[in-house]
Each structure stands twice: as C-alpha cells, then as structure tokens.
C-alpha cells in the first residue's frame, strides 16, 4: 500500500483547479453541477446564493413555486391540475419538496464523496461555504463550494490491492471519517433547515441523502469488500459518536432485498411521473424473489 503522506497544495486556487480537473476527468456529469472555488463566487453568473440565503423562507418558497409551475407545464394534456389543499399550482406539495430535496442532495453529495475517497481530500465543511445557482425551473442546478481554509490531501492509495479486514479499516478510515464529517457538519444543518421549511420530515430528507451515498459507493473504484465495509460503517450503527446516526435505518443493507430504499420519495405523485425502479411501494405486501429487480 502506498504511504499515506499528507501533502498541501501551494495555494487554495491550485487545490481547487486540481479537484475540478479530477472531477471533470473521472465524474464529468458531476463536474457540471459542482465546482470548487477558493473564495466567494464571482464571475459565475447571476443568481448564485449562499445556502443560508437560499434556505430563507421567501427564497426557498419562490423556488418551490417555480418548481411547481414547471411540473404543471409538463403535465399531460389530459391531466387536469387544479388548486386544492396540499398543492402548489395543483401539484402535490409534499412530493414537490421531496423531489427538490432529491435534486439537492443528488447533485451535492456524490462529488464530495468522490473527493473524499478518490482524491483523499480532508477539509472542514459547513453550509456557509456552499453556494447554489438554481435552474430556471427552480430546482438545484450548480453548486459552488468554497475551499478557503487549510486543507490537505492524502497521497493516492493503491485501489487494486487486496486487503484484510484490519488493513481495510486502516485504508478507509480517513475517507469514512470525512463522510461522517460531511454528515454532521454540512448535511445535518441543511436537513434541519429543510425540515423546518417543508412539509417533509427530516427522516425523508435523510433517506434521500442515504440512498445517494449508498448508491455512489458502488460507483467509486472500490472492491466489493471495500463497498461492504463502507456501508457497514456508514449505515449499520444507531449512533455516530454521541449522537444518533442520521443514516441509521435509511437503507436496507441485506443483499437479498429487492431494493435498498425503505421510504418512498413520493415522485409518483407528481404530474406525468411514475415510481422509480427502486420504489419500495413496488413490493409492499409482496414477498419478491431474492435479488429480483424492477426494470428501470
């Protein structure tokens, strides 16, 4: 195994350039939706908001309103939408907030996971360092994360070597700790704020975050043993230090389960939208064959 020597890039700008280049090469989809920046964003277009600004009531609800209008415009001609209690422009309110949350965590979390595991980035995260430029439809579109404090990167590790359980723990200790820091320092305040603004419970917001973390572990250059080890560390404990673990019971870890999801994301309640392939409602009241999946 390669040595785990800490290196510090000469400047924050150089670090951001390196992180962005690695993301563009190895995870190009996410490079379109998240950019590391050395200072507060400038020259990235208008309507770039700090997360604390974004999650103010007036701003957040204006985005949800645009999000609802976009879904209403996409609805089938035969589908009659009308304003009623529990809707925005005739679109189910809980489903809107839930799907907005899925966009939010779905675009933010994977690139930070990539940097934690593949780039071995060690940084301190907080909502004050995250900015978002919304899409015209009101949903999240492009994040900017300010990396202005001292940060370090591990020297690369050999991802093809076979490891024992003990050496797995040693190899993956740093990125797992970084993900735990991501949960407690960055995502937890965001989930708390979203839950206070929306009719969606914090548990469903954590379900979205947990699902994307569980899925993206399988997209990284990790062996099956390494993926299993990470999932056990991140999902299989009721506590994270002295606090309840936010990912506890957000995902089914048993390999024979047909879907990892426990909670439905409600997307099927949106106009012209069906259940996702991993929706647990497909299997409610059924006993599916082990490993059998619904086609996506």
Percentage of the chain beyond pLDDT 70 is: 78
Query: What is the helix (H) or strand (E) element at residue 116, kind and residue range?
Result: helix 93-117
- Is 1 domain-assigned? no
pLDDT at 213: 97
Is 3 domain-assigned? no
* Pairing, β 121-122 against β 49-50: unpaired
220 inside domain: yes
For residues 242 and 195, the model is more confident at: 195
Rounded Cα–Cα distance for residues 219 and 203 (Å): 24
- pLDDT number for residue 141: 97
Total structural domains in the chain? 1
pLDDT surpassing 80 at residue 144? yes
Question: What's the mean pLDDT when you consider all of the chain?
Answer: 83
- Whether the pLDDT of residue 114 is over 50: the answer is yes
Q: What is the DSSP string of 248-265?
A: TTSB---TT-S-SB-S--
Residue 288 lies in a domain: no
Can you spell out the DSSP letters for 87-101?
Answer: EETTEEHHHHHHHHH
In a domain, 265, yes or no: yes
- Domain assignment present for 127: yes
pLDDT tens track for 153-180 = 655 444 444 444 556 777 788 899 999 9
Domain that holds residue 241: 8-283
Which of 14, 183, 205, 32 minimizes the C-alpha distance to 113? 183
- pTM score: 0.86
Quick check: 31 and 111 in contact, CB under 8 A? Answer: yes
Q: Answer whether residue 291 shows pLDDT above 50.
A: no
Residue 295 lies in a domain: no
pLDDT score of 154: 56
The verdict on residue 86 lying in a domain is: yes
């Amino acid at each position: 195994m390669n040595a785990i020597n800490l290196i510090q890039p000469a400047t924050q700008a150089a670090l951001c350039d390196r992180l962005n280049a690695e993301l563009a090469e190895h995870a190009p989809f996410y490079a379109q939706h998240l950019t590391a920046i050395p200072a507060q964003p400038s020259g990235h277009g208008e309507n770039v908001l700090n997360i604390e600004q974004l999650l103010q009531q007036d701003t957040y609800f204006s985005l949800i309103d645009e999000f609802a209008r976009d879904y209403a415009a996409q609805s089938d001609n035969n589908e009659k939408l009308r304003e009623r209690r529990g809707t925005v422009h005739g679109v189910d309110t809980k489903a809107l907030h839930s799907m907005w949350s899925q966009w939010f965590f779905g675009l933010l979390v994977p690139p930070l996971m990539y940097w934690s595991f593949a780039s071995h980035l060690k940084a301190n995260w907080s909502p004050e360092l995250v900015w978002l430029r919304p899409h015209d439809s009101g949903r999240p579109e492009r994040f900017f994360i300010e990396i202005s404090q001292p940060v370090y990167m591990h020297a690369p590790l050999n991802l093809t070597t076979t490891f024992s359980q003990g050496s797995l723990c040693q190899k993956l200790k740093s990125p797992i700790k970084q993900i735990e820091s991501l949960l407690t320092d960055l995502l937890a305040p965001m989930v708390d704020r979203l839950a206070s603004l929306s009719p969606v419970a914090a548990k469903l917001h954590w379900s979205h975050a947990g699902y994307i973390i569980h899925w993206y572990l399988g997209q990284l250059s990790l062996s099956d043993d390494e993926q299993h080890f990470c999932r056990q560390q991140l999902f299989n404990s009721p506590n994270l230090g002295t606090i309840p673990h936010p990912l506890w019971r957000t995902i089914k870890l048993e390999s024979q389960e047909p879907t990892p999801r426990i909670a439905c994301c409600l997307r099927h309640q949106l106009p012209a939208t069906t259940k996702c392939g991993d929706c647990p409602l497909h299997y409610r009241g059924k006993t599916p064959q082990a490993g059998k999946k619904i086609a996506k």
